[in-house]
Chain A
Amino acid sequence: MTANDFLQIGIFLVVLLLLIKPMGSYMAHVFADEPNRLTRIGAGFERLIYRICGIDAHEDMGWKHYAIAMLLFNVCGMVLVYAFQRLQGYLPLNPQHFPTLSPDLSINTAISFATNTNWQAYSGESTMSYLTQMAALAVQNFMSAATGIAVLIAVIRGFVRKTAKGIGNFWVDLTRTTLYVLMPVSFLLAMLLVSQGVIQNLKPYVDVPVVQTTTYANPVTDAAGNPVKDASGNPVTKPAQLTTETLPMGPAASQIAIKMLGTNGGGFFGANSAHPYENPTPFSNFLEMLAIFLIPGGLCLTFGEMVGDKRQGWAILATMLVIFIPLAIGVTAAEQAGNPILHTLSIDQHASGLQSGGNMEGKETRFGIAASSLFTAITTAASCGAVNNMHDSLTPLGGLVPMWLMQLGEVIFGGVGCGLYGMLAFAVVAVFIAGLMVGRTPEYLGKKIEAYEMKMASLAVLIPCALVVICTAIAVMTPAAVATVGNPGAHSFSEILYTVTSATNNNGSAFGGLSANIPFWNVMLSVCMFWARFTLAIAMLALAGSVAAKKHVPASAGTLPTHTPLFVTLLASVVVVVGALTFLPALALGPIAEYLMSAH
């Protein structure tokens, strides 16, 4: 690793910590039970929305009521996104005249965006009209993020309230998150991104003449549009002249801003944040990386403020950083070392003042190794899934890091809201384990942790793990799925494992060599995304409802303090041990086998 690699990680962490402190307190104000200066400003507009929707904003919902409202709202969102895709050909704002999408792809995309996964089995610039992007996909970017934050706030209320029946009002939490947190910050970020060169217009694509015409091999297709193959099965091509280039256009910046901020990750274009119109400069890249961690990091501190002990928030944040920093350094070191199979060729992979060197396959020149590797660690630690380099071309160990970060359950920052409520499930497990050691009933934040809470926390921890392992096994036994891999050897297993891991943990990034747009993947991944997202949220709401009804127990000499370095170590160990025990065997067959074979 070079000094520059360390410097780029360092600058990012310093600026991030400076930003999340004010962001955390701001959000604590947004979700305060009593009205304050901020919520009074928007009160008129909020009331108007509640009146239109027939909502009683003062209603305090029990956990079941809250969960049903959340689930209903998200299912309605899926139906609307499905409808937009299936009717796309008849709707306006479609200057490229893209046709209607297939039913299985439409279902997959609808569930993907409503679950904050943003797994994409399509390429935006050749599939989605501007209307579908704006009014279907970007709306879900906002709503899935707001849903995650709303559920988290309800879970925190469960710990704060004493002998209470309700945990808040879903509609109010959703509206306030959207109006006070997501919209203003997205707008500001969108304008900053445009200043760097991200496009924001409604124009049709622009054709330009190329400076130098080139000849390329164009595949021959038959009358039905299928590729023609020769006797040995290779596609038949004939030389063609390249004289013009088509530049894609569209309302990209507004969607990219919320895609980063809401940890959604669905690219406006196929290449996602590697595309020069989606992420044109190192500064836009820096902003996008900050935007991914801004809300998940800030929410840790919001949590501390809401439970009345800021140290609790810092302890959770410290746990996340303790795991994140070594893994970010790990992926950077692996990528900077370059690709061993190219060392025998006449190629210079060494870093110098004139080049970043390293494994540049799938990476953009402006980001080099440092800004690409850091982005990879951030986007998979948080369940964002935007990519600024192609993860499939990462070195074996460089590719292991993002896969494992997702397999930890997306709790190292994680998705907005859901990352922290996932981490709180781990915190409950951690105090339980500590309680077993000393033989006392465990407590967390003044609430007794009993059998019911442990069941819910265990479900939240184990459901994603089980889904990944089982569905990976199903995929490798299905010939249609195995046929979609894009690389030979151990890497083909890595592609399948990465795909299932990403969908189940609602990340959405991909080892893109795998061709995922077939009915098997579209359907199975839809099930993974939906099941993991909502069972986890409902389990945590049930836990919140249970602890909200309990009395507050004052801390005694036997209470384990949960703001100390000891607890940070314990919590980090629980997260790492669960992740390692579950996935080490699978990782050994994929990236670890590939590493050992290419390093011989």
Chain B
Amino acid sequence: MGRLIRNAVSMLLVMTVITGIAYPLVATGVAQVLFPHQANGSLIEKDGKPIGSELIGQNFDDPKYFWGRPSATTPQPYNGTASNGSNLGPANPSLHDQVQQRIDALRKADPGNTAPVPADLVTASGSGLDPEISPAAAQYQVARVARVRHLGVEQVQALVAKFTRGRQLGLLGEPRVNVLTLNLALDGMQHD
């Protein structure tokens, strides 16, 4: 028994060095050489300073911007240090009420638009940090953004098309639009 305990403890320490120290450090080193942009968070930089990440969404509720997925993180939406979904059950009355409030907010920002709202624009994402919306959710907002910014609808359409990505490799996942990069491009276009 004494020998078995010595075997177990030393095996655990050896394996901790191999899989818990060597493996992650080598992986970090190789990743930093091969894919430095991705390994460090796919940051978007402006004048050498990070202003966001392509992968982590931000909260938008101003009519001049495209809005992203509702976020259920607390206390503030899109809280990068507390990723989470709402975990509301499908029949929970709060879910019904929250979706209704989100529809009302979208309607208030764009009174003429009575089309049904695409599901992803009024339901909270799983991570609370979803950077993307469906092309349908972007289309729903094009007329509003164009009007508030005094831009042509075709101009905004073209920009949305530019930031729309299809299924990966033509097969996997869903088509989607990155909200933060689209909004940064909108701001950039009007500053020029």
Residues on A lying within 8 angstroms of B by beta carbon are 7-8, 11, 49, 52-55, 68-69, 72-73, 76-77, 80, 123, 125-126, 134-136, 138-139, 142-143, 171, 174-175, 178, 182-183, 186-187, 190-191, 194-203, 205-206, 208-212, 214, 216-219, 240, 242, 245-249, 251, 253-255, 258, 269-271, 274-277, 280-283, 285-286, 338-339, 341-342, 345-349, 352-368, 370-372, 387-390, 392-396, 399, 486-491, 494-495, 511-513, 594, 597-598
Contacts and interface: CB of A to CB of B under 8 A. Distances in A.
Contact of B92 (A123, A285, A491): A491
A277 B176 contact: no
Interface in B48-64: 50-62
Contacts of A178: 15, 18-19
Given A212-B62, A364-B125, A199 B132 contact: no
B38 A208 contact: no
The 4 nearest A-B residue pairs measured at CB: A282-B173, A274-B126, A368-B174, A390-B85
Nearest to A279: B127
A76 B125 CA distance: 39
Contacts of B51: 208-209, 211
A346 B88 contact: no
Given A183-B23, A271-B126, A361 B95 contact: yes
Contacts of B24: 134, 138, 251, 254-255
B31 to A, nearest CB: 4
Interface of B: 1, 3-12, 14-16, 18-21, 23-24, 26-28, 30-32, 34-35, 38-43, 50-62, 65, 69, 75-93, 95-96, 99-100, 103, 114-120, 122-137, 139, 167-169, 171-176, 180, 183-184, 187
B83 A275 contact: yes
Contacts of A354: 118, 134-136, 139, 175
Given A247-B80, A353-B175, 14 more contacts: A69-B4, A142-B15, A214-B76, A214-B77, A216-B75, A248-B80, A251-B28, A271-B83, A276-B55, A283-B173, A364-B127, A364-B130, A367-B173, A486-B89
Contact of B60 (A212, A367, A368): A212
A21 B91 CA distance: 43
A120 B52 CA distance: 29
Contact of B34 (A76, A77, A195, A248): A195
20 contacts: A53-B14, A54-B6, A138-B23, A143-B12, A182-B19, A205-B80, A212-B65, A245-B58, A247-B43, A248-B80, A274-B125, A342-B96, A348-B115, A348-B119, A360-B120, A362-B87, A365-B130, A387-B126, A491-B90, A594-B91
A365 B118 CA distance: 12
Contacts of B76: 214, 216, 218, 240, 242
Given A187-B27, A217-B75, A513 B87 contact: yes
Nearest to A367: B173
B37 to A, nearest CB: 9
Contacts of A142: 15, 19
Given A210-B59, A271-B128, A342-B99, A360 B12 contact: no
Nearest to B139: A354
A42 B20 CA distance: 20
Contacts of A214: 59-61, 76-77
Counting chain A CB atoms within 10 Å of each CB, which of B24, B120, B133, B171 scores highest?
B24
Counting chain A CB atoms within 10 Å of each CB, which of B1, B117, B130, B131 scores highest?
B130
A283 B168 contact: yes
Nearest to A72: B8
A348 B83 contact: no
Counting chain A CB atoms within 10 Å of each CB, which of B1, B52, B91, B118 scores highest?
B91
A393 B34 contact: no
Contact of B40 (A203, A283, A365): A203
Contacts of B5: 72, 76
A196 B38 contact: yes
A392 B88 contact: yes
Nearest to A199: B41
A199 B136 contact: no
B113 to A, nearest CB: 10
Given A76-B9, A487-B92, A598-B90, A246 B28 contact: no
A276 B123 CA distance: 17
Nearest to B114: A346
B15 A143 contact: yes
Given A276-B127, A364-B125, A371-B172, A208 B50 contact: yes
B38 A274 contact: no
A280 B43 CA distance: 13
Contacts of A387: 126
A471 B30 CA distance: 46
A396 B42 CA distance: 37
A399 B92 CA distance: 14
Contacts of A253: 27, 31, 39
A11 B168 CA distance: 13
B41 A251 contact: no
Counting chain B CB atoms within 10 Å of each CB, which of A208, A283, A338 scores highest?
A208
Given A274-B125, A348-B118, A341 B85 contact: no
B123 A190 contact: no
B91 A199 contact: no
Contact of A54 (B3, B61, B89): B3
A240 B125 CA distance: 23
A73 B173 contact: no
Contacts of A352: 136
A126 B79 CA distance: 11
B40 A356 contact: no
B80 to A, nearest CB: 4
Given A354-B135, A367-B174, A186 B55 contact: no
A142 B45 CA distance: 37
Counting chain B CB atoms within 10 Å of each CB, which of A191, A212, A339 scores highest?
A212
B58 to A, nearest CB: 5
Contact of A126 (B81, B88, B93): B81
Contacts of B38: 194-199
A417 B130 CA distance: 35
B86 A393 contact: yes
B89 A389 contact: no
Given A143-B15, A206-B41, A355-B119, A281 B100 contact: no
A407 B170 CA distance: 36
A175 B15 CA distance: 9
Contacts of B3: 54
A486 B173 CA distance: 30
A119 to B, nearest CB: 16
B80 A194 contact: no
B44 to A, nearest CB: 8
Contacts of A196: 38
Contacts of B119: 338, 342, 347-349, 355, 357-360
Contacts of A73: 8, 11-12
Contact of A246 (B27, B40, B81, B187): B81
